[in-house]
């Protein structure tokens, strides 16, 4: 198999090649021998091309030799077999030309399989000048002149070649400083202006004067169909321009400056006529707008030297004096000889700042990483978890007085309150405390355990619990520890158990701790040292509503870790128990109430309840009795569970009265709320 491979290369070259010459296979025209090889390469100098014309081709043919031409200029052709001169002229030679400054290479080799002699190939190469002016990318904006090895651009009369040596432009920069009147126009006015124009006209007069511009008729500067400027007129004195189209700027155009530069630019297309502008001077006046986002009184279009006005910032903006300690919305200023106001301050948007919310992380600002706090900005509040609910409006706006105000006009921030009385696991099976049944984890999430002294408590928010006064009577303010988020009272060291240390214990002031026959006002509040993290196994119970309470024969649920068997061992439960018990009538509650066989006093601050074989017992004191009966609350649309009673006292379990006495919590709701508010207010004042 014999192959002739032709490639186009873009390679650097060290020296100029011969301008023409032959290239042919070894032994041509007598024929090439087996294993003959030839490698040939030539490059054109810059501004030239190299072409190769194959005039004869007679090589061994083979099935694997295919014509394979690529337009990207690398591999041009793979040839074998025999071709006529006409075929070469038509199919091959037109491809064998390099890019300007490019190269051609040729590779020939034969193997041992030649069965007959072939004459080989012959080609003629030439180096030719490349006419860059035929290239549409030569970048000459007007005239292009080709010469051997390169090209040059030139311009029409009145134009000159820019520094890029390709773009034709005009000399239209002019310094007219010192002139107090005159006329400026675009190049070739009133005829079509030059393309690629970059004109700069400089006007400068004395400090106490200002320049006044009058654009003449015939204004015609190119713009597109969307009204955007293609060519433009711009002045450097403030924000005058850009101007374009067929409508001239309103005249007179006051610059309020003694130094003005007028710039005119055009692209390489179009035939618009341009502009003419006359200028003159007048005494400087101060502009009617002193500063953005403000108004001046008395209001005038312009002010003369010595006039004083009161500047008032718009609603939502304050004066920025850089040194002020108190925000203000207005100030006085006087027009100076130089045509400027003094003093002059900017009106900056009011900044309401980050809302003042507790730093406990419960009430949060949405997008708190980068909240916008300027006038008119909105913020949205949210609670940190689903175990809190937002009370109040969630969206506030920064108003003109620097206050965050809700859509309803409320300036007090919303609050997050604990979701109460809604366990995620709602029990449905009856159980007993006395000989009872186990509660499931999360079924009574407000139940807290006091291990020493043995008793219970109820979580009422993330910082407070309520229990019976007699449980904590005599304890120090910080010597009490409570446990929550559990049902097994013996497993207090696991990671899921929440430990709460008491910071303050507040016993109801009317509780008589010295009385052995009266448990009236048997209620106490416990404040923790820190907020507890709420979750599915630790949630507060709701306080009762007025005129609620456990009615006669109505069933509620009592829970605790108290005694479960009526035997001599009096074993305290290892697992939280609960029982459904019914309320008794006040008359029934007053029948021979006893505690440790001592007659007791029954008051309106108590109620009693029980059921056959079911009752609270020793060790349950301080625990909750809730309504509605566990398992019939949320899923039956009876509302959240509420703390109606606190286990207080009763006859000894072994006497089988099955009648326990409870502190009526609804009588103490006001005391609970007032006490919590007072303590937390004192804490905020101490901070």
Q: Would you say 60 is a known binding-site residue? A: yes
Q: How many CB atoms lie within 10 A of CB 308?
A: 12
Q: How many CB atoms lie within 10 A of CB 683?
A: 12
Rounded CA gap, 473 and 409, in Å?
47
Tally of residues, the chain? 687
Q: What are the beta bridge partners of residue 535?
A: 538
Q: Would you say 150 is a known binding-site residue? A: yes
**Catalytic residue of the set 522, 559, 616, 648:** 522
Closest CA to 309 of 319, 297, 294: 297
Query: Torsion angle, CA of 328/334/338/343, rounded to 10 degrees?
Result: -30
Closest CA to 382 of 402, 399, 396, 372: 396
Find all residues with CB under 8 Å of 684, minimum gap 6, and list them.
none
Q: Would you say 267 is a known binding-site residue? A: yes
HEC assignment per residue over 642-664 = EEEEEEEEECCHHHCCCCEEEEE
Find all residues with CB under 8 Å of 286, minimum gap 6, and list them.
256, 302, 303, 304, 305, 307, 335, 336, 339, 340, 341
Q: Would you say 66 is a known binding-site residue? A: no
Rounded CA gap, 441 and 430, in Å?
15
Q: Would you say 670 is a known binding-site residue? A: no
Specify whether 470 is catalytic: yes
Q: Would you say 320 is a known binding-site residue? A: no
Q: Would you say 231 is a known binding-site residue? A: yes
Phi and psi based region of residue 182 (left: phi greater than 0; alpha: psi -120 to 50; beta: remaining)? left
**Which tokens belong to 343?**
């003093």
> 562 near 660, Cβ under 8 Å?
no
Rounded CA gap, 606 and 622, in Å?
13
Nearest 5°: phi and psi at 679? -65, -45
Pairing type for strands 198-204 and 174-175 reads parallel
Q: Would you say 501 is a known binding-site residue? A: no
Q: Would you say 654 is a known binding-site residue? A: no
> 149 near 48, Cβ under 8 Å?
yes
Q: Which long-range contacts (CB under 8 A, 24 or more apart) does 220-228 make?
A: 220/246, 220/272, 220/273, 220/274, 220/275, 221/186, 221/245, 221/272, 221/274, 221/275, 222/266, 222/267, 222/269, 222/270, 222/272
> 335 near 305, Cβ under 8 Å?
yes
Rounded CA gap, 648 and 667, in Å?
15
Specify whether 160 is catalytic: no
**Which tokens belong to 507?**
């016993």
**Which tokens belong to 74?**
């690398």
Q: How far apart are the first and last CA of the chain?
A: 98
**Catalytic residue of the set 256, 470, 508, 580:** 470
Residue with tokens 């309320």: 583
Q: Would you say 164 is a known binding-site residue? A: no
Q: Residues marked as binding for Ca(2+)?
A: 60, 68, 111, 113, 129, 132, 146, 150, 231, 267
Q: Residues marked as binding?
A: 60, 68, 111, 113, 129, 132, 146, 150, 231, 267
Active site members:
470, 522, 621
């Amino acid at each position: 198999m014999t192959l002739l491979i032709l490639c186009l290369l873009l390679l650097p070259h060290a020296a100029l090649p011969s301008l023409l010459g032959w290239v042919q296979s070894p032994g041509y025209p007598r024929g090439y021998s087996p294993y003959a090889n030839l490698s040939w390469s030539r490059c054109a100098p810059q501004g030239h091309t190299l072409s190769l014309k194959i005039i004869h081709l007679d090589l061994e043919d083979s099935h694997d030799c295919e014509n394979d031409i690529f337009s990207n200029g690398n591999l041009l052709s793979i040839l074998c077999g025999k071709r006529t001169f006409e075929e070469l002229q038509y199919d091959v030679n037109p491809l064998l030309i390099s890019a300007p400054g490019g190269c051609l290479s040729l590779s020939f080799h034969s193997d041992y399989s030649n069965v007959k002699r072939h004459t080989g190939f012959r080609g003629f190469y030439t180096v030719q000048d490349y006419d860059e002016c035929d290239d549409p990318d030569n970048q000459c904006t007007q005239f292009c002149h080709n010469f051997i090895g390169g090209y040059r651009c030139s311009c029409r009369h009145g134009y000159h070649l820019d520094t890029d040596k390709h773009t034709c432009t005009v000399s239209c920069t002019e310094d007219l400083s010192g002139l107090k009147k005159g006329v400026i126009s675009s190049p070739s006015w009133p005829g079509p202006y030059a393309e690629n124009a970059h004109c700069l006209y400089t006007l400068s007069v004395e400090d106490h004067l200002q320049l006044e511009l009058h654009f003449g008729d015939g204004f015609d500067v190119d713009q597109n169909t969307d009204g955007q400027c293609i060519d433009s007129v711009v002045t450097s004195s403030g924000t005058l321009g850009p101007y374009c189209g067929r409508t001239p700027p309103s005249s007179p155009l006051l610059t309020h400056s003694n130094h003005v530069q007028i710039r005119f630019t055009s692209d390489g297309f179009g035939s618009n006529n341009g502009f003419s502008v006359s200028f003159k001077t007048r005494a400087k006046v101060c502009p009617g707008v002193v500063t953005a986002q403000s108004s001046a009184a008395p209001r005038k279009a312009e002010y003369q030297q010595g006039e004083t006005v009161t500047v008032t910032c718009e609603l939502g903006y304050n004066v920025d004096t850089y040194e002020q300690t108190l925000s203000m919305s207005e100030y006085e200023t006087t027009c100076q000889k130089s045509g400027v106001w003094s003093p002059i301050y900017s009106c900056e948007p009011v900044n309401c700042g980050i809302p003042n919310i507790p730093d406990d992380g419960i009430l949060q600002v949405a997008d708190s990483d980068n909240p916008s706090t300027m006038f008119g900005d909105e913020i949205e509040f949210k609670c940190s978890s689903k175990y809190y609910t937002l009370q109040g409006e969630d969206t506030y706006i920064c108003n003109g007085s620097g206050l965050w105000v809700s859509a309803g006009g409320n300036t007090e921030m919303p609050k997050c309150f604990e979701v109460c009385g809604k366990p995620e696991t709602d029990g449905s099976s009856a159980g007993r405390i006395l000989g009872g049944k186990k509660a499931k984890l999360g079924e009574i999430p407000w139940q807290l355990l006091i291990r020493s002294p043995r008793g219970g408590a109820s979580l009422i928010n993330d910082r407070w619990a309520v229990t019976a006064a007699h449980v904590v009577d005599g304890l120090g303010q910080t010597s009490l520890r409570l446990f929550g988020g559990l049902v097994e009272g013996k497993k207090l060291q696991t990671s899921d158990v929440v430990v709460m240390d008491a910071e303050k214990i507040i016993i109801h002031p009317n509780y008589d701790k010295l009385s052995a026959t009266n448990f009236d006002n048997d209620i106490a509040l416990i404040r923790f040292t820190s907020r507890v993290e709420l979750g599915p196994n630790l949630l507060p119970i709701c306080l009762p509503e007025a005129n609620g309470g456990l009615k006669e024969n109505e069933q509620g649920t009592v829970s605790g870790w108290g005694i479960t068997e009526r035997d001599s061992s009096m074993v305290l439960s290892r697992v939280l128990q609960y029982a459904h018990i019914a309320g008794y009538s006040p008359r029934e509650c007053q029948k021979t109430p006893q505690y440790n066989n001592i007659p007791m006093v029954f008051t309106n601050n108590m109620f009693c309840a029980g059921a056959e074989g079911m009752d609270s017992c020793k060790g349950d004191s301080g625990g909750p009795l809730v309504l509605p009966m566990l398992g019939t609350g949320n899923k039956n649309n009876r509302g959240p569970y509420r703390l109606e009673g606190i286990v207080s006292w009763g006859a000894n379990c072994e006497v089988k009265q099955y009648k326990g006495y409870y502190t009526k919590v609804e009588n103490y709701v006001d005391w609970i709320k007032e006490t919590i508010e007072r303590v937390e207010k004192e804490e905020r004042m101490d901070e």
